[in-house]
Amino acid sequence: MTMLIRWSWLFGLTGFLSVVASFALWFVLGDVAGPPRAFALAGSILLMLWLILDRERLGDTVTSRAFTYGGTAVLMSIMAATLSGGLFVLARDHDQTWDWTGAGSFTVSEHTKTVCAGMDRDVEILAFYRARSWPEREFRDLARAIEEVCPRLTSTVVDPVSRPSLAEEHEVRVEDGVLVLTSSTGQTRRLEGRLDEERLTDALVVLLADKEHTLCWTQGHGEPSPDDEMSERGLGRVAFEIDDLNYRIQPVLTASEGIPRTCDAVIVASPESDWLPAERESLAVYIAEGGRVLALLEPDWAPDLAADFGRYGVELRGDIVLDLNPKNQLLGIDEPSFVVLTDDNLRAHPITASLGASVVLGVARSVSVDVNADGVSAREILVTSDQAWGETDLMGDAVGPDPEELQGKVPLMVVVEVIDPEALGVGSAATPKPSPAGAEAASGAAPTTDDAVAEAPASAPELDLNMAASRAVPADFAPSPGGRLVVIGDADFANNRFVDLGNNRDLFLNAIAWLVDEEDQLGERPASGDVLELTELEGAVLVLVSVFGMPGLAVFGAILAFVRRRRL
């Protein structure tokens, strides 16, 4: 018994550490059940045992002069602990998060806020994650941030191990990383695997969308394939982003199919060879009937197609824009043909309103508005700095701005809305007629007869490339105002090499969203900054070191000091 009393302080130390561990686990896990309760119970028992076994020594200590002098320190310690506990309770009940990451990785993006603001129905998320796993904590943090701006969104975390029947009902075969989104109108959407804000927001867009939009991607003129995700010039990466939304890409050979009326929007992406007159007229028919077009036209390529955009009030010059803006040099860009556009270069428009970062264009041509064009409302929304000009002779001895070249605030992107489709001159007899040899070489097919043209379906007329362009107009042509057109003098900004620079991806996706009237999809998407990722073991080690390791060393040092003083 004497030996037990002599070492009774170990019961007190172990009990104290158990109580501290209980509070630490409660703080980390956010739940008093389980390990926190067990540690608290064990610590309380050990402390009570210590008080009983060491009661005589404690009585002597309480009546000693040292205890009297140390009473103030103990009282201050108790007050500090009480204050800390009160601050914790206030922080828990009035939670506030600050994002100090350089890329704003934990701040809800403007795109997500826009989607949430446009939600017209409630959405519930069932998130299947193992309890107290690292992915579960990541999801809780993400869901809490999004729910602050999405009042119509609620989430429930389900442990598939403890609730196997619910997991079986939703066909959850894995322990982590399955989200089931259900709207109040009955639509469902399922996400599996690695989750981030962008994937969750895209899932909400698809869930809330009233329809799927068909985007016709023109082919047959050397355009980059929307399936090419490997080459630098390919547009597969941005096309993959489109597929995750409520869009469906449909390749279209305009030489044989024309422009189908089923297209919600047409993407003309960097054609190398020119369009034939019948193809250009088919595009004009589509726009005159209220169609929507995104055109990315590189310098010097497809000159006849570029010239034909004049009927829509768009002037594409045969130049290359060079910009000597000093800001570019500060960013490490010494090549003047690479144009960096920031807030000062963006004109007010829904496409550009939410772009917070820069837009980087490669070798680009100027795209300006023809103020004399009738029947359209056209605006320039991307312009360069005052130090830029449109160079028309890069091979000359002295490259520099000339009087006949555009100088200062050179426009690079315009948007057009058709008010009077009759002003587009669709089917005009003045439209040039291609030569038979050139048409046959481009099409690789014999010309069709007039009867064949008359019998072609109105949705996608069979085009005779030898006939006059006016014959590309279907018999039931029905002009209607409301056509939209976005023209950018560069396609490199959206290719696999440059699409992740600044707001390049957002510019492309915003342009499509504006064309098809998807206002909820306009916005700046989440930044893909560097995020520290920890495994469960690494997270546990971090908690042990920060919560127990450092405080434990301090407590251990205090105990050593106490024991040494007792022995002196």
Mean pLDDT in residue range 32-59: 74
303-331 confidence digits (pLDDT tens): 999 999 999 999 999 999 998 888 776 66
Instruction: Give the CA radius of gyration of the chain.
Output: 34
The percentage of residues in the chain with a pLDDT greater than 70, rounded to a whole number, is: 71
41 pLDDT tier (thresholds 50, 70, 90): confident
Residues 143, 155 contacting (CB under 8 angstroms): yes
**Cβ burial 133-148 (10 Å sphere, 16+ → b, else e):** bbbbbbbeebbebbbe
Nearest-angstrom CA–CA distance, 290 and 288:
5
More confident residue, 41 or 447: 41
pLDDT digits (tens, 9 = 90+) for 354-399: 887 789 998 999 999 998 899 999 999 999 999 999 998 877 667 7
Report residue 519's pLDDT band, with 50, 70 and 90 as the boundaries: confident
Distance CA 296, CA 491 (A): 5
Q: Is residue 270 predicted with pLDDT exceeding 80? A: yes
Kindly tell me the burial class for residue 128, based on how many C-beta atoms sit within 10 Å of its own C-beta (0-12, 13-18, 19 or more). buried
Q: Per the structure block, which two tokens stand in for 30?
A: 């956010």
* pTM score of the predicted model: 0.67
Per-residue confidence (pLDDT) for residue 408, from 0 to 100 = 86
- 145-151, Cβ contacts within 8 angstroms, sequence gap of 24 or more: 145/97, 145/106, 145/107, 145/108, 145/197, 146/108, 146/112, 146/116, 146/197, 146/200, 148/108, 149/108, 149/112, 149/113, 149/116, 150/112, 150/116, 150/119, 150/123, 151/116
Could you give the C-alpha distances from 360 to 357, 380, 381, 501, in angstroms and in order?
10, 17, 15, 7
Residues 6+ apart with CB under 8 A from 129: 135, 136, 139, 157, 158, 159, 160, 175, 176, 177
**Whether the predicted pLDDT of 506 surpasses 70:** yes
Q: Which DSSP symbol is given to 105? A: T
| Interval 185-198: pLDDT, tens | 888 888 887 778 88
Average pLDDT along the chain: 79
